[in-house]
């Protein structure tokens, strides 16, 4: 199983959106895929799959009050979703340091585990990174997002993860934006996708759907579909 953390350092760049859509794209390709919300204090992934009323969440598992299997839910196209609990009480009881241990024994034989890391580079982020063996860096084409992604990359490598590439999200190809090639050179990592700014993302969200399902031909869905193919094709050393 490949364990890929989607991390950025900067918040709001589109990690959760990408985890949900990329997970769905991989599932549609027939890959057994699990997505997990490791953004424990500000979880959003469950909302994307309408799991806000889930009985058991990752928080219960981290508190030792449920088994991991109890917190795995069926999403669209066979995708498996592990949501985190949205309430403050649930946040309080979840110990982030237990996360890598809890996710080590996944009771599903999966091809991919996609981990939605929180922003920043604090304890909770490090716990999320320690759940993965590969990191996919997510940024917007602007200097703040790219510099935070660079820092995240360094921390990831220090923790032993392999950076597989960068995804630029919300790309508008405006002249004030940083250029994809420039970012690729700056980071010395392959630019795996440029996902355009696309209203279909927000529109699907407002309908309680994932863009890749609601509008598979939208520019963002297509870019994420291509990204999924690239990731699935990668040769990974054991």
Ligand X SMILES: Nc1ncnc2c1ncn2[C@@H]1O[C@H](COP(=O)(O)OP(=O)(O)O)[C@@H](O)[C@H]1O
Query: Could you list the residues that contact ligand X (CB under 6 A)?
Result: 8, 11-17, 44, 169-170, 195, 197-198, 201-202, 205, 220
Per-residue tokens: 133: 């063996």
Minimal distance in Å, beta carbon 67 to Mg ion?
A: 25
Decide whether 126 or 223 has the Cβ nearer to ligand X: 223
Per-residue tokens: 53: 């009323």
Residue with tokens 């320690």: 130
**What does 198 bind: ligand X, Mg ion, none (CB cut-off 5 to 8 Å by kind)?**
ligand X
**What does 59 bind: ligand X, Mg ion, none (CB cut-off 5 to 8 Å by kind)?**
none
Q: What's the CA gap between 126 and 75, in Å, rounded? A: 27
Minimal distance in Å, beta carbon 170 to ligand X?
A: 5
Q: Which residue is nearest to Mg ion (CB)?
A: 16
Give the helix ranges, DSSP H, for 118-166.
123-129, 143-158
- Judge contact between 190 and 166, C-beta under 8 A: yes
Decide whether 196 or 236 has the Cβ nearer to ligand X: 196
Decide whether 13 or 103 has the Cβ nearer to ligand X: 13
- Judge contact between 34 and 112, C-beta under 8 A: yes
Minimal distance in Å, beta carbon 35 to ligand X?
A: 12
Decide whether 3 or 15 has the Cβ nearer to Mg ion: 15
Decide whether 201 or 228 has the Cβ nearer to ligand X: 201
| Binding-site ranges for Mg ion (CB under 5 A) | 15-16, 44
The gap between the terminal CA atoms of the chain, to the nearest Å, is 10
Per-residue tokens: 151: 């820092």
Q: What's the CA gap between 73 and 92, in Å, rounded? A: 23
Minimal distance in Å, beta carbon 44 to Mg ion?
A: 5
**What does 12 bind: ligand X, Mg ion, none (CB cut-off 5 to 8 Å by kind)?**
ligand X
Q: What's the CA gap between 33 and 26, in Å, rounded? A: 7
């Amino acid at each position: 199983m490949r364990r890929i953390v989607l991390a950025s350092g900067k918040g709001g760049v589109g990690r959760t959106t990408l985890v949900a859509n990329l997970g769905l794209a991989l599932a549609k390709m027939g890959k057994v895929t699990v997505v997990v919300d490791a953004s424990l204090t500000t979880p959003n992934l469950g909302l994307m799959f309408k799991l806000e009323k889930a009985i058991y969440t990752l928080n219960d598992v981290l508190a030792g009050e449920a088994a991991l299997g109890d917190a795995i839910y069926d999403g669209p196209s066979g995708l498996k979703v592990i949501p985190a609990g949205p309430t403050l009480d649930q946040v309080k009881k979840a110990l982030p340091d237990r996360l890598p241990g809890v996710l080590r024994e996944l009771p599903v034989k999966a091809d991919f585990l996609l981990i939605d890391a929180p922003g920043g580079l604090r304890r909770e982020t490090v716990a999320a990174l320690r759940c993965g063996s590969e990191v996919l860096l997510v940024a917007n084409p602007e200097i703040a997002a790219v510099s935070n992604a660079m820092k995240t990359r360094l921390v990831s490598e220090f923790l032993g993860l392999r950076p597989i590439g960068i995804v630029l999200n919300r790309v508008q190809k405006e002249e004030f934006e940083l250029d994809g090639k420039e970012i690729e050179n700056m980071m010395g990592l392959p630019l795996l996708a440029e996902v355009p700014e696309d209203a279909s993302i927000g529109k699907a969200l407002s309908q309680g759907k994932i863009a890749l399902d609601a509008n598979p031909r939208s520019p963002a869905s297509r870019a994420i579909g291509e990204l999924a193919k690239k990731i699935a094709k990668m040769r990974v050393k054991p």
